[in-house]
Amino acid sequence: MFIDYFKTIPQFLLPKRALNRFAGWMANMRVIKVKNHLIRYFVGKYPVNMAEAMEPNPFNYASFNEFFIRRLRPEARPIATADVISPVDGSISEIGYLSDGQILQAKGHTYSVAALLGGDESYATAFRAGCFATLYLSPKDYHRVHMPMEGQLLEMIYIPGSLYSVQPRTARVIPNLFAKNERVVAIFSTQFGLMAMVLVGAAIVGSMGTVWHGDFVRGSKIQRFTYSADRIVLAKAMEMGYFKLGSTVIVLFANREQLQWFEHMHAGDAVQLGQALAHGTLATKTDHK
């Protein structure tokens, strides 16, 4: 644990916002030699499987950002028949059930669902006794976010915040990490009640966005967008958002009585888009291949 604390010290000293702006500028650069150099370095450093990509040649992307949010071939990620699937490629940071409105961040650290959702008391009350899965996307992972199940979009909240790294090491030592960082909260109505998908920004994340809104421009105030009259319905496994570098997705369900995580899912497990995460307890249980 001491090593974790020691390695997070630079995050308190470095100008994170300036670094993020610079990283975003570099990632959008379309000078061929520069963007190819960045991509070559990245592919060499991380085990990126380009054979899964719609465009397998990394140098055919116009910018590093386009390479980073590359699309996968449809057959690369089979979709399980489970009621709830993983919305991303990544690993499970934590998974479980809320206790008195508290979400487990890491051993010894919890944070409130109210803080995560930007202080909205009505949503905090709705999710107070729900269930959650925190999914970390490492640099090598596919960085588009998909729907864990079908849902109708009700509201989206942009919440400004810090830009700490969201690596598991950082989550173990910085209290309230996910409730401190910049994030986008999307609230959906589903067959199992309310679902929240929280896209958490992080250090060196150039930007993040959703398919119905596009990139978010960083701001200093909470912004709310309502969609209940627009009838935006996204099917299970449909793309809903993306990260341009980074990060973490937190999935919340308000009604723990109707959903149950599969017992074999544990913190530290790798997951892929489309993999079974949970089944409905009041409906016919589906196959969890």
CA–CA gap between residue 243 and residue 4 (Å, rounded): 25
Has 89 been annotated as catalytic?
A: yes
CA–CA gap between residue 144 and residue 254 (Å, rounded): 24
Has 165 been annotated as catalytic?
A: no
Are the C-beta atoms of residues 201 and 161 closer than 8 Å to each other?
Answer: yes
Q: Token pair of 268, please?
A: 């530290």
Burial class (CB in 10 A: 0-12, 13-18, 19+), 266: exposed
Q: Token pair of 209, please?
A: 């966005």
Whose structure tokens read 């996204």? 234
The DSSP call for residue 162 is B
CA–CA gap between residue 152 and residue 140 (Å, rounded): 30
| DSSP sequence for 173-200 | TSTTHHHHB-EEEEEEEETTEEEEEEEE
Catalytic residue among 63, 83, 141, 146: 146
Q: Token pair of 224, please?
A: 């709310």
Catalytic residue among 141, 247, 279, 288: 247
Are the C-beta atoms of residues 253 and 233 closer than 8 Å to each other?
Answer: no
Catalytic residue among 63, 83, 86, 89: 89
Q: Token pair of 182, please?
A: 């910049």
Q: End-to-end CA distance of the chain: give it in Å, rounded.
A: 36
Has 86 been annotated as catalytic?
A: no
CA–CA gap between residue 205 and residue 199 (Å, rounded): 11
Q: Which residues are known to be catalytic?
A: 89, 146, 247
